Amino acid sequence: MTRRPRWEDDDPPFSFRLGGRPSKELLKSVDSAKEPSAGGETTHVRYAGSAGAPEVTAHVRRFDDFPAVDWVLEFENLGSADTPVIEDILPLDAALDVPGELPKLHHARGSACRIDDFLPLTDELRPNRTLSLAPVGGRSSNGTLPFMNLQRRHGGTVLAVGWSGQWRADFDRGTDTLRVSAGMERTHLVLHPGEKIRTPRILLIDYDADDPTVGNNLLRRLLIAHYLPRIDGKLVEPVVAQALQFYYYLTGQAGEGLELTALPKVAGVGATAYWIDACWYGRGRDWWQEVGNWTVNRERYPRGLRPIADAAHEKAMQFVLWFEPARVRSDGDLAREHPEFVLRSSENPDNTLLDFGNAAARRHILDQFSKIIEESGVDVYREDFNFDPLGYWQEADAPDRVGMTEIRYIEGHYAFWDELRRRHPGLWIDNCASGGRRIDLETLSRSLPLWSSDFTDVGGLTFGMGLHVGDQCIKAGLARWVPLMGGGVWNFTPYSTRGALISGFTFGCHIEREDLPPDDAATLVHPNDVMAKGKTLLGDEFPMDAARSAVAEWKSVRKFFLGDFYLLLPLTIAYHDWCAWQFHRADLDAGFAVFLRRHRSPFAETAVELRRIDPDAEYEVSLADGYEEPPRERMSGRELARQIITIPEMPGSILLRYKRAK
């Protein structure tokens, strides 16, 4: 293998063990077939081996417009008896020559409802050390994000793992070699006659640059071009939405009257979607006690949900509706009527897990949800997942089928989403899992994460102004890897909304800065005490003008969310630091940058260097501290690229817009 492989061979670097023997001793490529695919070509490489070995097929996709390749493996037992035990299946298992090098692995925290969700991390891969990455509990980005950037002496490789369950990646550094491997965390199983399984998907992107940001932006561009979901060929875009879920938390009240009171005002601020979260179903118990009872609560919504959807559509807004199919309460209708549809865990007896690997269970929930979606006029199917599935999968596995329940579950869940979109061609999916705990290559191919962290739910309110620091870290940290997303906004001052001004956002009420608790009171304050001070669209005190200005500013820059993304300062969660980032679109010769002086920063100015600016060109530039953009002034590229940004207020913000002058 070359020093930095271009992954040009049709045979991807994978491995497993069969009956204790390594696959390289057993398998050989027997044939291959090529076919055109979106953006390039897919090669199907078939491998066969000794009697008892499964047939393995690698589906290898290459792109004409990116230095990238992705592949997924399928294992099939074509024999008449069980295979020997197949274990340690690694769809990626490559050895790289790194003599004299000190590679760096750039990666990120996943979501864990923490202020540092998606914080950038960098590890040096020193000789004779191993770095292992894996999520917690079976949700793919729970604690660790399945996107990585291996930076080498000159250039590097971005790695993405497409598996919405328990994956693992290992970087095992010897003296002169680096072994890179990835796959499911545990596999030890036999295949029965006629059985077929798939592996996690692997994506590799090579880049030639000393700056690892080049690799991250190649990933963003590739996702936009060939992975993110589309409807009628048009890329799905995040929304600005409103939801009254916080009001339900406070009062226990929800219903048609409240929604139809708020909805015209939501349209009045320019929002693009109306959102009903977890309060519309069941018989009136708390939302988490009713999961599995998927019938509209007729006391709250006597005419069903269609009147709200129709009112949203009349105002040119999409209608978002929340579901959580995976979690089924043990005392709920579904678990009682169809106990064969659910998996159980001794560690969590109150909740069962809908078994997406059970075709009958999958059809049942698909038919039930399809009916609700059709009758209710749903445009965005919001799917949540609020507990860890790994224990359920493991308890269901036989000793010689370790990993099989997870595989069937993940395969079935993808089939569920794909069929839901097939039945409802205009529908798109919002992927939530206690915030952003299930973000990976496969979910991004089918959905967008409109609520990227539960820290921006009620939990972050107890952090006071730290709530906004968390917003900044979460959105900017995730934007390095994921182009389109959402988040929460609780305050409509420019400083607050600009911290979330990366893709879409959702709001419920406005909480004045002085009504947030002190920074050090997180363990002393209940979120409801903070929310109770919020100004809601149900009343007259909501700051309509500020919200309208915030949404208008978002609309003025949203075309740049499809551009390259740059952190202009190191991203931290320190209250005394600044935060700054930039979007740039080369095709428009334009972009914008946001500068945020945090609430404890003693520094009134900072020096930054903007990216992708031509020093010999002229630009039209504006710097706005408030929502109103001042007249643009002409500035040389050399002057624009090196900025001294001054923000007297603490906290405060500046939005810099620029466009190359004609």
44-52 mean pLDDT: 91
Q: Tell which phi-psi region holds residue 329, choosing left (phi > 0), alpha (psi between -120 and 50) or beta.
A: beta
Q: How far is CA 556 from CA 151, 490, 548, 561, 587, in A?
A: 35, 21, 12, 11, 17
- Position 143 scores a pLDDT of 98
Confidence of residue 8 (pLDDT cuts 50, 70, 90): low
Q: Which helix (H) or strand (E) holds 264?
A: helix 256-268
- For residues 458 and 467, give the distance between their C-alpha atoms in angstroms, rounded to a whole number: 10
- Position 219 scores a pLDDT of 98
Please tell me whether the peptide bond between 651 and the residue prior to it is cis, using omega within 30 degrees of 0.
yes
How many angstroms separate the most distant Cα atoms in the chain?
A: 76
Among 559, 524, 436, which Cα is nearest to 488's? 436
Q: How many CB atoms lie within 10 A of CB 497?
A: 25
The three-state (H, E, C) secondary structure of 189-216, written as one string: ECCCCCCEEECCEEEEEEECCCCCHHHH
Q: Return the axis-axis angle of helices 256-268 and 306-314, rounded to nearest 10°.
A: 10
- For residues 36 and 34, give the distance between their C-alpha atoms in angstroms, rounded to a whole number: 7
Partners of 564 in beta bridges: 584
One DSSP character per residue, 447-516 reads EE-SS-BGGGTGGGGGGTTHHHHHHHHHHHHHHTT-SS---EE---SHHHHHHT-SS-EEESEE--GGGS
Q: Please say if the pLDDT value at position 70 is more than 60.
A: yes
Q: Which helix (H) or strand (E) holds 63?
A: strand 55-63
Q: Please say if the pLDDT value at position 2 is more than 50.
A: no
Q: Which helix (H) or strand (E) holds 395?
A: helix 390-396
Counting Cα atoms < 13 Å in the Cβ hemisphere of 342 gives: 23
- Position 458 scores a pLDDT of 78
The number of angstroms, rounded, from the C-alpha of 300 to the middle of its chain's C-alpha atoms is: 32
Partners of 70 in beta bridges: 61, 203
134-138 mean pLDDT: 98
Strand 380-383: give its sheet, edge to edge. Answer: 447-448, 428-431, 380-383, 318-323, 273-276, 240-243, 505-507, 488-489
Where b means 16+ CB within 10 Å and e means fewer, 49-75 reads beeebbbbbbbbbbbeebbbbbbbbbb
Give CA torsion, residues 472, 477, 482, 487, to 10 deg. -30
Residue-wise pLDDT tens digits, 393-432: 999 999 999 999 999 999 999 999 999 999 999 999 999 9
- For residues 366 and 374, give the distance between their C-alpha atoms in angstroms, rounded to a whole number: 12
196-207 mean pLDDT: 98
Do 416 and 359 contact (CB within 8 A), yes or no?
no
Residue-wise pLDDT tens digits, 256-281: 999 999 999 999 999 999 999 999 99
Confidence of residue 230 (pLDDT cuts 50, 70, 90): very high
Residue-wise pLDDT tens digits, 593-645: 999 999 999 999 999 999 999 999 999 999 999 999 999 999 999 999 999 99
- For residues 270 and 272, give the distance between their C-alpha atoms in angstroms, rounded to a whole number: 6
Amino acid making up residue 66: F
Residue-wise pLDDT tens digits, 324-371: 999 999 998 899 999 999 999 999 999 999 999 999 999 999 999 999
Confidence of residue 523 (pLDDT cuts 50, 70, 90): confident
- Position 444 scores a pLDDT of 98
Q: Which helix (H) or strand (E) holds 548?
A: helix 544-557
- Position 235 scores a pLDDT of 98
Q: Return the axis-axis angle of helices 359-376 and 404-423, rounded to nearest 10°.
A: 30
Domains of the chain: 15-226 (2.70.98.60), 230-235+250-447 (3.20.20.70), 561-660 (2.60.40.1180)
Name, in order, each residue with C-beta under 8 angstroms of 529's C-beta and a sequence gap of 6 or more: none
205-220 mean pLDDT: 97
Phi/psi for 519 (5° steps) reads -55, -35
Q: What mean pLDDT is reported for the chain?
A: 96
* CA R_g for the chain: 25
Task: Say if pTM beats, i.e. exceeds, 0.95.
Answer: yes
